[in-house]
Chains A and B, each alone.
Chain A
């Protein structure tokens, strides 16, 4: 049993047989963690987000593998990685793809075997010094996935990583690093799950995506941690010229879930699609901060976050479109829609623009409200009972995001999860 101390970073590095450079990186990040205070509500980003009840001293630094993970419901994959607790993950990959130069391995193994590739990218987009929790993630991350697809390689079947937690009371901080070679094309699904547990856990599920020139990357995060989890995660993509990244985040689990979803567009013709859906029930709290950063012009970003909240569930959305000087000819769209399914549910939505340029097209919008009674009346006027009508409208509300989930089985899984939550 190890608390959150420096030696925990060494223990984790040892458990994963990490090279010295990564061990040093962990130690550096731990120093940042120790130096920084917890985020305060006086900071704009945390103004509507309370960390009351979060006790970092209550967590063990890592979780032993407990009960075995359930099989991922996504069959017919290019490769699967399974990781339980903080134990190193196990990988199966289509040998054809290995021969083609595709690397799909636990992150620590990649750090050992391909240090030049990993060192250059790891924690470059998801920065440890952003706040105390990002530093903690970098210092004590519990393994994760490394996926590298070489130039020109196109893969139809998805890669799936499944992270499973079964005991609670500890940190479970998987990290995903994806590097897409020039003109490559593939989809990756991260599935984070656990049952509801007695003791609180601190979880993440951070991902860095480097989309090379003209690559096409689909990334899906299925956040299904149990209701004992405090989740803090950063998903960030860096896009080069003519690349396309499609990110879909499904926020379904955790008691508290704080996610930053960001894309930086660094080449003309780059296109980032950032989609998310979340469904809060009971006391769940979701916080999404998004950034569409147009560093270079003639790039496109399209963001749509849709959430439904039941009972006392709450959400915060704050999104920023930033068009840098010189990024002319950029198109940026941002919308956040919230459906309140009870009188006590609350949603906050704050869209923001920072435009250093004139020649751009930007739209943003936010809505918060109950199910439209006209929608219900129309369906009911055809003989559809009110409960069924309500289900249809709520399900339909998510349709625009669901249809953008690039992997069909992941889409079906999310649909099923939504059905269970809609079940009035």
Chain B
């Protein structure tokens, strides 16, 4: 059994079935990419895996290290090692990044406000942040800002990866992480992700475009069309998509050009 298994997952939104039986297997150390055109169900996949309340699971199973996730709340899934880098990170007014990160780390460690020994200390907190903040070129002042408030597109995505580096998941879903990124940000973000790659971490990159895959080479590529995986293979699948786009499956004029968006 793989470390992360999606078995015949079917998901609906507002009564309409979007994912029509998706199966994927990701082992620790591997990087997978799920590629698909608009409306193929990519966002539904990432949101349903994390447990967003607007998505109804209609059938199937998701296992992380043998543990079934679909009955669990989002926070429980996260504490088991699942991570979602949001396509559109949410602004949470009045909550500082520092408070947010510290609370998340404390939750991971089972600190509920009582046993101080479990809480992360200020020194350890600083040390945990130092390296990824450096790699991601994130300024210290960032910690006293409110979560994603007033962040540029690039800052938001870098912040998503910073959280990932700090929380150290075993399975990370990166939803359109390259969208809205300037060229500097995409370098910092991929550098940071590549430094985490391998070892205990499995990665699932969810993307429309091949651009990010030039920076983070996937081991496996899956094509999602109309709620189903229509092709799986090695990185050559992405190369092929760059030439042909999704035209093989959908009527999308200039699809090829769109897939190979300029870097």
Whether chains A and B associate is: yes
Chain A interface mostly: helix
Bound form: Cα–Cα A384–B78 in Å:
8
Bound form: Cα–Cα A392–B52 in Å:
19
- The reply to whether B86 and A384 contact each other, CB–CB distance below 8 Å, is no
B93 is contacted by which of A379, A385, A386, A396 (Cβ under 8 Å)?
A396
Bound form: Cα–Cα A380–B92 in Å:
12
- The reply to whether B93 and A397 contact each other, CB–CB distance below 8 Å, is yes
Stretch in A3-11, A83-91, A369-377 touching the partner: A369-377
Bound form: Cα–Cα A378–B159 in Å:
13
Interface residue B94 (Cβ < 8 Å from any Cβ of A): yes
- The reply to whether A377 and B73 contact each other, CB–CB distance below 8 Å, is no
In the complex formed, the residue of A with least CB distance to B103 is A384
- The reply to whether A374 and B90 contact each other, CB–CB distance below 8 Å, is yes
Interface residue B189 (Cβ < 8 Å from any Cβ of A): no
Contact with A along B64-90 (1 / 0, CB 8 A): 000000000111001100011010011
Bound form: Cα–Cα A380–B50 in Å:
10
- The reply to whether B92 and A379 contact each other, CB–CB distance below 8 Å, is yes
- The reply to whether B103 and A399 contact each other, CB–CB distance below 8 Å, is no
Interface residue B163 (Cβ < 8 Å from any Cβ of A): yes
Contact with A along B41-75 (1 / 0, CB 8 A): 00000000011110000000000000000000111
- The reply to whether B75 and A383 contact each other, CB–CB distance below 8 Å, is yes
- The reply to whether B104 and A383 contact each other, CB–CB distance below 8 Å, is yes
Residues from chain A with Cβ under 8 Å of B83 in the complex: 381
Please report the number of residue pairs spanning A and B whose Cβ atoms sit closer than 8 angstroms: 80
Interface residue B134 (Cβ < 8 Å from any Cβ of A): no
Within 84-123 of B, Cβ neighbours of A (below 8 Å) are at 84, 86, 89-90, 92-95, 99-100, 103-104, 107-108
Q: Count B-side interface residues using an 8 Å CB cutoff.
A: 28
Interface residue A400 (Cβ < 8 Å from any Cβ of B): yes
Q: Shortest distance in angstroms between B108's beta carbon and chain A's nearest beta carbon?
A: 5
Interface residue B167 (Cβ < 8 Å from any Cβ of A): yes
Residues from chain A with Cβ under 8 Å of B146 in the complex: 396, 399
- The reply to whether B78 and A398 contact each other, CB–CB distance below 8 Å, is no
- The reply to whether B94 and A380 contact each other, CB–CB distance below 8 Å, is no
B100 is contacted by which of A379, A385, A386, A400 (Cβ under 8 Å)?
A379
A383 is contacted by which of B94, B147, B167 (Cβ under 8 Å)?
B167
Bound form: Cα–Cα A379–B107 in Å:
11
Residues from chain A with Cβ under 8 Å of B99 in the complex: 392
Residues from chain A with Cβ under 8 Å of B89 in the complex: 378
Q: Shortest distance in angstroms between B25's beta carbon and chain A's nearest beta carbon?
A: 23
- The reply to whether B73 and A392 contact each other, CB–CB distance below 8 Å, is no
Bound form: Cα–Cα A379–B147 in Å:
10
Residues from chain B with Cβ under 8 Å of A397 in the complex: 93-94
Q: Shortest distance in angstroms between A151's beta carbon and chain B's nearest beta carbon?
A: 37
Bound form: Cα–Cα A395–B96 in Å:
11
- The reply to whether B95 and A395 contact each other, CB–CB distance below 8 Å, is yes
- The reply to whether B84 and A396 contact each other, CB–CB distance below 8 Å, is no
Interface residue A117 (Cβ < 8 Å from any Cβ of B): no
- The reply to whether B74 and A388 contact each other, CB–CB distance below 8 Å, is no
Interface residue A393 (Cβ < 8 Å from any Cβ of B): yes
- The reply to whether A383 and B95 contact each other, CB–CB distance below 8 Å, is no
Query: Can you pick out 20 interface pairs between chain A and chain B where the beta carbons lie within 8 Å of each other?
Result: A375-B90, A375-B92, A377-B50, A378-B92, A381-B74, A381-B78, A381-B86, A382-B78, A382-B104, A382-B107, A383-B79, A383-B167, A384-B103, A386-B73, A393-B92, A395-B94, A396-B93, A396-B94, A399-B93, A400-B94
Pick the 7 closest A-B CB pairs, nearest first. A399-B94, A396-B94, A383-B78, A378-B90, A382-B104, A396-B95, A380-B74
